[in-house]
Amino acid sequence: MKPRYLQELIRDLQAFYKCPSCDTSYVFDDIRFLGELESYCFMQLSCHNCSLPVLATVTVSAQADKQIRKTDLRHGEAEQFTAKGAISASEIAEFHRWISRSNRLS
Ligand SMILES: [Zn+2]
């Protein structure tokens, strides 16, 4: 992940998404990059107003300069992303364990 691309991704998330609970616009500090798995980027959006955490997966293409093809916002657990089918359930479970571990350490 290039730093410049990550900044653009955060700007896009700020431009297109608001907190689904209280409709507050996200600020830069609300958005955290969790990691990349295959062609997916995982972002966590934490509303500074009501503290609602939202997980976002962003599909990036492997070619060229990694264009954002699609962004999906989902509430709750990462397991829900298994519905997409492109990532296996075990990979999601592993990623979820990784996130939980990272959160405990930070
Ligand atoms: Zn909110």
**pLDDT tens-place string over residues 36-52:** 888 788 999 999 999 99
Question: 10: CA distance to ligand 1 center in Å?
Answer: 17
- Is the pLDDT confidence value at 17 over 80? yes
Question: 61: CA distance to ligand 1 center in Å?
Answer: 30
Residue 58 region by backbone torsions, left for phi larger than 0, else alpha for psi between -120 and 50, else beta: beta
Tokens, residue 15? 């431009």
Give phi and psi for 19, each to the nearest 5: -60, 125
Question: 45: CA distance to ligand 1 center in Å?
Answer: 10
- For the segment 76-82, the average pLDDT, to the nearest whole number, is 44
Question: 18: CA distance to ligand 1 center in Å?
Answer: 8
This prediction's pTM: 0.56
